[in-house]
Amino acid sequence: MLVNHKPLISVVIPVYNAERYILKALRSVCEQSYQNLQIIVLDDGSTDRSKELIESVEDERIYLVSRENRGLIATLNEGISLSSGDYIARMDADDICLANRFAKQLEYLQKQTNVGVVFTGIEYINASGDIIRKKISNETRKIESVELLFGCPVCHPTAMFNMNVLAKCDIKYDSDFNKTEDYELWTRLINITQIGILSEALFQYRIHSESITSKSSDEQRNTAVRAIMKNLSNLDSQKLESSLGVIYNNHQGVESTVLTMISLSKVFLLLNRINQSFSRYKYLSKSYYLLRNKLSHRKQTSLR
């Protein structure tokens, strides 16, 4: 009997009423160029044909759990508990992994042994699978903690965790942060490990009417600011929380230019007291691009 000495990657896939997309998603995992996988599929009480379609895929690496609905956070944590890999990768039931995703992420983590989690660039696709736009880092790099004040720079289902660096308790999702459980996790993890992102689109992220991103943006933004205060701020101030909320919400373009400038200035003056790890240079750089994009958008709107 041949022994596979390649590191095992556990892939956690939560599923809820995903009959339209689950086969493509699952096959994109099964057909990865890197094959030493434990594929944990958790059917969270689907009422459509999801379970039947999952069972139709003949692959001995698939471990299916099907039970009553418990919600996404409980399902993700259950998947982590069931994982036995040296690395744990996330995947959603309506997205698509490009063929070399796991191989490229594994290669990076084996070279950057102090990095606890790495993400990839993405192609946004619509319900039909057409590419809408792309989000790709200019370079393969480490995320700086101060970047998280300006929005989420990474895409949750592209995550691969290095379990040689992290413990399972480190990557459990917090049920107090429903719909921003991923962002809360990144604000927590960046305090204990480095976070990397690859400058290559290795994932297709689907946007459609039933996705959480489409249905819960207001609630997500409000809860995200709570995560910043909990994990990234040493100061507890309602005024500070309000200013951080203005800065964070700008990635959705919902705050006025004047209020944004005031909030950016207030936070800058307190930056090292908020968190000593925050880079002033990176903060000013992010502030510049935020205001430039905001003023550019305002100018374009006025010309319409």
Mean pLDDT throughout 263-285?
97
Binned at pLDDT 50, 70 and 90, residue 2 comes out as very low
Binned at pLDDT 50, 70 and 90, residue 124 comes out as very high
pLDDT in tens, 211-249: 655 445 767 778 999 999 999 999 999 999 999 999 998
Binned at pLDDT 50, 70 and 90, residue 1 comes out as very low
Q: To which residue do tokens 């692959």 refer?
A: 59
Mean pLDDT throughout 141-166?
97
pLDDT of res. 303: 34
pTM: 0.92
Least confident of 45-59, 106-120, 261-275, 283-297: 283-297
Q: Which helix (H) or strand (E) holds 258?
A: helix 257-269
Radius of gyration of the chain (CA): 20
DSSP one-letter code for 200: E
Report H helices in 19-151: 22-30, 50-55, 72-82, 101-111
- The domain segmentation of the chain, as residue ranges, is 9-212, 233-302
pLDDT in tens, 62-86: 999 999 999 999 999 999 999 999 9
CATH superfamily of 9-212: Spore Coat Polysaccharide Biosynthesis Protein SpsA; Chain A (3.90.550.10)
CA distance 94 to 243: 35
CA distance 38 to 107: 18
